[in-house]
Structure 1
């Protein structure tokens, strides 16, 4: 499993419209093979910043499966107009051998 991480800088004043559009877009990503789930969080300190974490079976499920689909074109149409600047997307893999009690 990998986690897609994207900090979404939404244009100030468009937060409510973005959240409504995101709810329309959610089924588009969840229909993708290899999609495992997502979490969208809103910054307390900077309310126009959102953190999107998406769990995928593999990087390819996201980069080829979703981004190569017609659903991604609709995702872009619904959401990409809200970002300034455009978000950086990275993929992370958990380091299973590091337990929480050894991190602090």
Structure 2
């Protein structure tokens, strides 16, 4: 299992519209193979800043299964115009303790 983590900066004044669009786009990501869970957190200190966390069964479920899918084109169309700058996506794996 891997964790995708993304800091998102939404253009000023578009926060409410973004959150509504994200709710709608959530149906896309949650239907994908290998998807486990996702959440969107709003930053309390910086207006328009969000943290997206998505758990996937494998890295490939995200990078190939989702990012190279037709569904991703819808996701992109619904959400990417809100971001400035465009976010960097990082992947993490659990450290056994």
- Confirm or deny a common fold (TM above 0.5): yes
Larger C-alpha radius of gyration, 1 or 2?
A: 1
Could you tell me which residue of structure 2 aligns to residue 102 of structure 1? none
Work out the CA distance in 1 between the residues paired with 2:88 and 2:57.
20
Aligned length: 97
1:94 deviates by 1.1
Could you tell me which residue of structure 2 aligns to residue 20 of structure 1? 20
- RMSD value over aligned CA atoms? 0.6
Could you tell me which residue of structure 1 aligns to residue 67 of structure 2? 67
DSSP 3-state at the match of 2:17: helix
DSSP 3-state at the match of 2:5: strand
After TM superposition, which residue ranges in structure 1, 4 or more long, deviate above 4 angstroms? none
Q: Could you state the TM-score of these two structures normalised by the residue count of structure 1?
A: 0.91
The C-alpha deviation readout for 1:31-71, integer Å capped at 9, x for no partner, is: 11000010100000002000000000011000000011111
